[in-house]
Structure 1
Amino acid sequence: MKCAVIGLGSMGGGAAASALRAGLDVTGVDPSEAARGAFGNRAVARGADLEEGQAAVLVLTVNAAQARAALFGESGAAQRLAPGGVVVCSATMAPAEARLLAAEAAERGLLYLDAPVSGGAVAAREGRMTVMASGSDAAFAAARPLLDAVAGKVWSLGAEPGQGAAMKVVHQLLAGVHIAAAAEAMALALRAGLDPHTVYDVVNGAAGASWMFKNRMAHVLAGDDTPLSAGDIFVKDLGLVETMAREASLPVPLAAQALQLFVAQRAIGQGGRDDAFVLRVWQAIAGFALPGEEGGAAPRTDPQA
Structure 2
Amino acid sequence: MDIGMIGLGAMGRAMALNLAQAGHTVKAWNRSGGSVEGVTMVASPADALQSDTVLTTLSDDSVIRSVLLEPGVLKHAKQGLVHVVTSTISVAFARELVVLHEAAGIDYVSAPILGRPDVAAKGELNVLAGGAPHALTKVRPLLDVISKRVWDMGADAPAANAAKIACNMMIAMAIEAMPEAVVLTEANGLSREHFFELILNTLFGSRSYQVYSANIAAGQYEAGFKASLGLKDLRLASEAAGQAGRSLPLLAAVHGQMAATVEAGMGDRDWSAMAALTIDPNAKRRSIVRSSLS
User: Normalization by structure 2: what TM-score?
Assistant: 0.85
SS for the counterpart of 1:82 is coil
Cα shift readout 1:3-42 (whole Å, capped 9, x = no counterpart): 1232322322222222122221123332234xx34x3443
**2:136 paired residue among 132, 137, 140:** 140
Paired position in structure 2 for 1:292:
none
2:179–2:279 CA contact under 8 A, matched in 1 = no
**2:246 paired residue among 240, 250, 258:** 250
SS for the counterpart of 1:31 is coil
Within the alignment, does 1:169 sit opposite 2:162 as a pair?
no
Q: 1:112 to 1:188 in 2, by over 3 A?
A: same
Paired position in structure 1 for 2:30:
30
Cα shift readout 1:242-272 (whole Å, capped 9, x = no counterpart): 2221222222111111111100101110012
Kindly state the Cα deviation for residue 66 of structure 1 after the two structures are TM-superposed.
Answer: 1.5
Unaligned runs of 5+ in 1: 288-305
Structure 1 residue runs of 4+, over 6 Å off? none
Paired position in structure 2 for 1:297:
none
1:268–1:281 CA contact under 8 A, matched in 2 = no
Q: 1:57 to 1:193 in 2, by over 3 A?
A: farther
Paired position in structure 2 for 1:15:
15
Cα shift readout 1:119-152 (whole Å, capped 9, x = no counterpart): 2223211212112221112211221222121122
**2:127 paired residue among 107, 125, 131:** 131
2:42–2:48 CA contact under 8 A, matched in 1 = no
Equivalent-residue separation in structure 1 for 2:219 and 2:47 (angstroms):
39
Q: 1:51 to 1:200 in 2, by over 3 A?
A: same
> Which amino acid is 2:149 matched to?
K
Q: 1:187 to 1:113 in 2, by over 3 A?
A: same
Matches within 5 A, 1:95-106: 95-106=91-102
Kindly state the Cα deviation for residue 194 of structure 1 after the two structures are TM-superposed.
Answer: 4.4
Equivalent-residue separation in structure 1 for 2:273 and 2:40 (angstroms):
32
Equivalent-residue separation in structure 2 for 1:190 and 1:2 (angstroms):
55
1:234–1:262 CA contact under 8 A, matched in 2 = yes
Paired position in structure 2 for 1:300:
none
Larger mean CA deviation between 43-52 and 4-13 belongs to 43-52
Q: Provide the identity percentage.
A: 25
Within the alignment, does 1:212 sit opposite 2:226 as a pair?
no
Q: 1:48 to 1:189 in 2, by over 3 A?
A: same
Equivalent-residue separation in structure 2 for 1:9 and 1:156 (angstroms):
25
Kindly state the Cα deviation for residue 69 of structure 1 after the two structures are TM-superposed.
Answer: 2.7
> Which amino acid is 1:18 matched to?
N
Larger mean CA deviation between 208-217 and 133-142 belongs to 208-217
SS for the counterpart of 2:269 is coil
Backbone CA RMSD of aligned residues: 2.7
Q: 1:278 to 1:140 in 2, by over 3 A?
A: same
Paired position in structure 1 for 2:224:
228
Cα shift readout 1:134-188 (whole Å, capped 9, x = no counterpart): 1112211221222121122222222222111122222222122112212333455
Kindly state the Cα deviation for residue 86 of structure 1 after the two structures are TM-superposed.
Answer: 0.9
Q: 1:186 to 1:73 in 2, by over 3 A?
A: farther
1:10–1:228 CA contact under 8 A, matched in 2 = no
Matches within 5 A, 1:102-121: 102-121=98-117
**2:233 paired residue among 237, 251, 255:** 237
Q: Select the structure that is richer in helix.
A: 2
Within the alignment, does 1:2 sit opposite 2:2 as a pair?
yes
Within the alignment, does 1:71 sit opposite 2:83 as a pair?
no
User: Normalization by structure 1: what TM-score?
Assistant: 0.82
Paired position in structure 2 for 1:294:
none
SS for the counterpart of 1:172 is helix
Kindly state the Cα deviation for residue 118 of structure 1 after the two structures are TM-superposed.
Answer: 0.8
Paired position in structure 1 for 2:156:
160
Within the alignment, does 1:92 sit opposite 2:88 as a pair?
yes
Equivalent-residue separation in structure 2 for 1:227 and 1:271 (angstroms):
9
> Which amino acid is 1:20 matched to?
A
Kindly state the Cα deviation for residue 284 of structure 1 after the two structures are TM-superposed.
Answer: 4.8
Kindly state the Cα deviation for residue 60 of structure 1 after the two structures are TM-superposed.
Answer: 1.7
